[in-house]
Structure 1
Amino acid sequence: MSTPSALDSFLDKWRTRWPEWQVAERFVPEHQRTLVVAWFSLLQEFDDILNTAGDPMPSDAKLAWWGEELRSWSAQRSRHPLGRVLEPVLAPWAQLAETLPDLIQARAVPVDPAQALRALQAYAAAVAAVEAVMFDTPARGDVATAVLVQTLAQRLHESGVAAIPRSLLAEDDTAAPRKWAQQLLAKWPARVAGPRPRRLYAALARARQQTWAQDRQYQATPMRTLWRTWWAARG
């Protein structure tokens, strides 16, 4: 039996968190599938750093390392297994690296929803800029908004109260999680713009957010996922 490669371990970690992708990836050209999962695996690394609990120092050090790694990709000097797949894409990696410190600042409980959105605005724009090059699509501001809302929704799910604006907690701390989830959904169109991989990923993430906002358990059947991602793939 063969031993999984270092790259496979990162890709499989993301696939384990998103089992629905097994259905969704049918709408991604076969030659792009590894690239797409590598990219989303990298973003998951950043999500984990943003949503770290306990002592933040190891995560902060890891984020600093990632900043150096991304800057090295323009000179084709990747060290990480994900870089072997992503580095050949001539994307604005340095721009993304410059926004990574925002993830540390965004861990602080925001004063209000507007501050929560501002804290990760530059990061989301940098992610959208990379995807525009990676998937050869025009850069659009509404793609950055979709990335931003998805990142905040994932943070709410992973970090709970720490992700909720203080203004909502002050109004009613028991209703605040659902209210924040619903506000994020209101900014998150059912069909987002951007390249097909982003549309597919957003459709899956938004479906999860809808169930969390309604205080229901998320259940994704293959048929529901197939319908949802087919609809998203149409653009």
Structure 2
Amino acid sequence: MAVAFARVSDPVALDGFIGKWRERWPEWAVAEVFVPAQQRQLVTAWFALLQELTDAAWAGDDPTPGSAKLGWWQEELQGWSLGRRRHPLGTVLQRHDAPWAELASALASLRASRDLPAGTGSALAALDIFAAAVAALERALFIAENSAAGTANVAATLLAVHPRWSGRDADHIRDLLAQWPVREGPRPRRIIAALARARLGRTTAVPAWRVLWTAWGAARH
């Protein structure tokens, strides 16, 4: 199945993808004050890319269209590692020296995580390969000081937003909270992981005062 993206000018299309991510994460409008201003577009473009990838892997009743999109993304990310880009998000992301080919290789693992094991520990383990690739990208993009940190926080965040897990009962939520990792990784990852944790069990956005407190705590860690 061929996958095509609308031919729209890069700035307009870029804003559309970032805007779609912001719609799902309204808390970021408050939390991003703790991210350096010069880094904010890079951060939101990166998180928008992760949303595109996870939507392709997990959304819908039929996995076939999403699998085709992941195939397209695998080619695209491999192209980024060679200096080529087609997707509007690449206008912000591709120019950065980061292991894009590793992320492309990890998409097979992301595809396999569509249906997760029942246990929280097993579900986190099923996300580990993709989470490690994401953490490696974030260390490169955001110049993290600890090259070994971040994978556990990525996996926990992914599980918290996984459509086949996030709707589970209170026991599963308590189990994930009990296993939630310590804050690690670059500041944007620490903040988004803390927000994902604060969202667990909620049906509405986290209140602004709690977002501010949560993001501040994650940023200063």
In the superposition, the TM-score normalised over structure 1's length comes to 0.83
The answer to whether the 8 Å contact 2:77/2:104 transfers is yes
In the superposition, the TM-score normalised over structure 2's length comes to 0.88
2:196 maps to 1:205? yes
Q: What is the CA–CA distance in structure 2 between the aligned matches of 1:79 and 1:36, rounded to whole Å?
A: 19
- Structure 1 unaligned residues grouped into runs of 5+: 165-175
2:33 maps to 1:41? no
2:156 maps to 1:149? yes
Q: What is the CA–CA distance in structure 2 between the aligned matches of 1:182 and 1:120, rounded to whole Å?
A: 19
Counterpart of 1:206 in structure 2: which amino acid? R
2:60 maps to 1:68? no
- Alpha-carbon distance change, 61 to 139 in structure 1, aligned in 2, over 3 angstroms: farther
Shift in Å, 1:138: 3.5
Larger radius of gyration between Structure 1 and Structure 2: 1
Counterpart of 1:82 in structure 2: which amino acid? L
Q: Which runs of 4+ in 1 moved over 3 A?
A: 111-115, 138-142, 216-219
Identity %: 49
More helix by share: 1
Shift in Å, 1:139: 4.5
Q: What is the CA–CA distance in structure 1 between the aligned matches of 2:149 and 2:169, rounded to whole Å?
A: 25
2:36 maps to 1:24? no
SS of structure 2 residue aligned to 1:77 = coil
| Matches for 1:42-191 after TM superposition, within 5 Å | 42-110=49-117, 112-155=119-162, 158-160=163-165, 177-189=169-181
Counterpart of 1:182 in structure 2: which amino acid? R
Counterpart of 2:115 in structure 1: which amino acid? A
Aligned residues: 212
1:174-216 Cα offsets, whole Å, 9 max, x none, are xx62222222112214x6111111111111111001xx1xxx5
1:118-138 Cα offsets, whole Å, 9 max, x none, are 321110000000001111113
- Structure 2 unaligned residues grouped into runs of 5+: 1-8
Shift in Å, 1:26: 0.8
